[in-house]
A and B are shown apart, each in its own frame.
Chain A
Amino acid sequence: DQQVKQNSPSLSVQEGRISILNCDYTNSMFDYFLWYKKYPAEGPTFLISISSIKDKNEDGRFTVFLNKSAKHLSLHIVPSQPGDSAVYFCAASQTSGSRLTFGEGTQLTVNP
C-alpha cells in the first residue's frame, strides 16, 4: 500500500526555467510533509517542509505548496540550475507518529 506516490519518475527542464515536482498521498492522517534531495551514492539531504496548517512555504528558490483537499503537494524550483539535478523525494508523517513515509522519488535533470 503506497501511501505516498510520486507518479513522475523523471523530469527534464532547461536551466533558468521552473521545475515542478509533484507528490500525492492517500493517508488523511498525514499532517507534515518534507522534501529531500539526493545525489547518486550519497544520503538524502533535507530541503524544505510544510505543516498542514499552511498551504505554502518558501525558502529561497524552493517553494512547497500543499493542497489538503486534493491530498497533493508540489515542489517548485525557480530558477532551476544544473546543480539541482538530483533525485527528489517527498515524505509524509503524522506529527503524532514515529516515522516518515517516503515516495518513490523523481529524477530531475536541469539542462544547461
Chain B
Amino acid sequence: DGGITQSPKYLFRKEGQNVTLSCEQNLNHDAMYWYRQDPGQGLRLIYYSQIVNDFQKGDIAEGYSVSREKKESFPLTVTSAQKNPTAFYLCASSIRGGYYEQYFGPGTRLTVT
C-alpha cells in the first residue's frame, strides 16, 4: 500500500559528522518536504521540492542540504554546519506543491552528541 517511509526511526551521530536521512514515497506525488520539530515549536520547513531536480530553501535551510534526483526520493543531509541538529525530522509529500494536503512519514529522531 502507498505511503511515505523514513529510515531509520532513531539515529545517533557524533558532533562534526554529516548524516543523511532517508525519505521515500510511492504515492506518485510531485512535491516533497522536510520539516524539523523541536519541543514547544511547530513544524519548521527546511527544504521543499515541487518537481524532480528542483528544490527551494524553506525557513531554516542553513546547515542542511537535499537532492531530488528521483520522484520517489528526497534525502536530507544534516551537515556539521548545523548548530543544533538534534531534533525530530519529518518528511512529507503532496500531489503538487502549495495548499494540497500533505502526507507525512513517521519521522526520524536524530541525536547528535
Instruction: Verify if B85 is at the interface (C-beta below 8 Å from A).
Output: no
> A42 to B98, Cβ gap below 8 A?
no
Instruction: Verify if B63 is at the interface (C-beta below 8 Å from A).
Output: no
Instruction: Verify if B41 is at the interface (C-beta below 8 Å from A).
Output: yes
Stretch in A53-61, A65-73, A95-103 with 4+ CB within 8 Å of B: A95-103
Interface size class of B (residues with CB under 8 A): 20 to 34
Name the distance in Å between B113's Cβ and chain A's nearest Cβ. Answer: 20
Inside 8 A of A101's CB, which chain B residues have their CB? 45
Inside 8 A of B50's CB, which chain A residues have their CB? 98
Cα A93 to Cα B94 in complex, Å, equals 13
Contacts across chains A and B counted by CB atoms under 8 Å: 67
Name the distance in Å between B59's Cβ and chain A's nearest Cβ. Answer: 9
Interface size class of A (residues with CB under 8 A): 20 to 34
Chain A residues proximal to chain B, CB less than 8 Å: 4, 6, 9, 31-32, 34, 41-46, 49, 89, 93-105
Q: Name the interface residues of B84-103: CB closer than 8 Å to any CB of A.
A: 88, 90, 92, 97-99, 101-103
> B56 to A46, Cβ gap below 8 A?
no
> A89 to B98, Cβ gap below 8 A?
no
Cα A4 to Cα B41 in complex, Å, equals 12
> A98 to B97, Cβ gap below 8 A?
yes
